Amino acid sequence: MPTKIVNQLKESCWDQIDNVDSPFLSYKFFQTLEESHCIEEGTGWNPVYISNPQKACLYTFIKEHSYGEYIFDWDWANFYHQFNIPYYPKLTSMIPFTSVTTPHFVGESSHIIMEAYNKFYEENHFSSSHFLFLTKEELEFFKSYNYIIRDSFQYHFINKSYTSFENFLEDLIHKKAKQIQKERKLPVTINQFTGHGLTPEHGEEMYDFYLATIDNKRAISYLTKDFFIKIFERLKENIFYVQATKDGESIAGSLYFFSNDRLYGRYWGSKVNIPNLHFELCFYQGIEFCIKKGFSVFEAGAQGEHKISRGFRPVKTYSAHKFKQVDFHEAINKYINNEREDIEVIMRKLSERLPFNKRAGL
């Protein structure tokens, strides 16, 4: 069947591809983003799906800004602006508003689809093409298309076949383990929900907590209430929701997604300011669930050096970038090479601060 380029998910035959593990690559996840108007023309996230029906699909977005990407290119946009050359629109492929590593082809990696993508890219007024949060397996594929590979890093919890949270604490130096035990003593009740235990009311509740965090950080609200209500129904088998209550009232919550082998921390919020509640809902509950389910990795997302002392390790992430203007492509390549050296230094220093004892190793 011929390759298709469409803006509507229902035409992409994505739902006929059945070898998808990540919840973020499921048809239902993108369907919910569309139906709740989180991604559409006018949001700066105008979706484009390039598919070879029943075999593979490549997802990307026409971007009019760089918000919600977590691989920052504002310096590059300013660089273009200095020469009066528009940086937007550009093409960016990633899970919207979500800094998780996933394949960029749903189904099989396909040179046929990539050629169709390149044609679409070259024939339209895009300054550049970006694939964010690549898997290691994708690096050589994008290098073969003359993409520049950029290094970044996040903080991940690595499950070394722990049998319990207490078993994990045994790997930490005594001082850090005691600190975590102290932080977990909170004046709240913790409730956990997944699968059929989730309700639309939990979705509405999580949306309110999400808005509380947005207001507190003066950030942008990308997701709608409709998204949370629908995703709690459609992906309930891939969602872990942690709720904190006090005096019978729900006061805070955190939302995780999970695949067959990984846990992903996504959103959290609280109505009240209770010391260490953030650590419990966003870190310790996730670590405990990861160990219980036997997952190998818990991705806690970008930023936050305080994760280091709580057992999260700095882990490299990768992105791929190409620029139509040859001079800009070469200049940004130099920028990325210099940045890579800085990241190596930063990651080495962060690794020196890991709280694990000698018995645990690194």
Structural domain boundaries in the chain: 4-153+315-351, 160-295
Q: What is the DSSP string of 83-108?
A: TT----SEEEES-TT------SEEES
Same topology, domains 4-153+315-351 and 160-295? Answer is yes
Q: Say what the pLDDT of residue 360 is.
A: 60
> Quick one: tokens of 186?
């909170």
Q: What is the pLDDT of residues 7-65, one digit of tens each?
A: 767 666 676 665 568 999 998 999 999 999 999 989 999 999 998 866 788 999 999 99
Q: Say what the pLDDT of residue 359 is.
A: 67
User: 91 forms bridges with which residues in the sheet?
Assistant: 62, 129
Could you tell me how far CA 316 lies from the centroid of its own chain? 14
Higher pLDDT, 70 or 219: 70
**Top-level class of domain 4-153+315-351:** alpha beta
- Model's pTM, two decimal places? 0.94
Model confidence at 99: pLDDT above 70: yes
Give me the mean pLDDT over the 134-161 stretch.
96
Q: Which residues of 32-53 are buried (b: 16+ CB within 10 A; e: fewer)?
A: bbbbbebbeeebbbbbbbbbbb
Contact 306, 351 (CB under 8 A): no
Model confidence at 5: pLDDT above 80: no
φ, ψ for residue 222 (rounded to 5)? -85, -30
Percent with pLDDT over 90 in the chain: 83
Split at pLDDT 50, 70, 90, the class of 221 is confident
Between CA 136 and CA 226 the distance in angstroms is 34
Contact 165, 128 (CB under 8 A): no
Query: How far is the CA of 19 from the CAs of 23, 187, 195, in angstroms?
Result: 12, 44, 21
Residue pointed to by tokens 């699968």: 195
Q: Say what the pLDDT of residue 361 is.
A: 56
Q: What CATH architecture applies to the domain 160-295?
A: 3-Layer(aba) Sandwich (3.40)
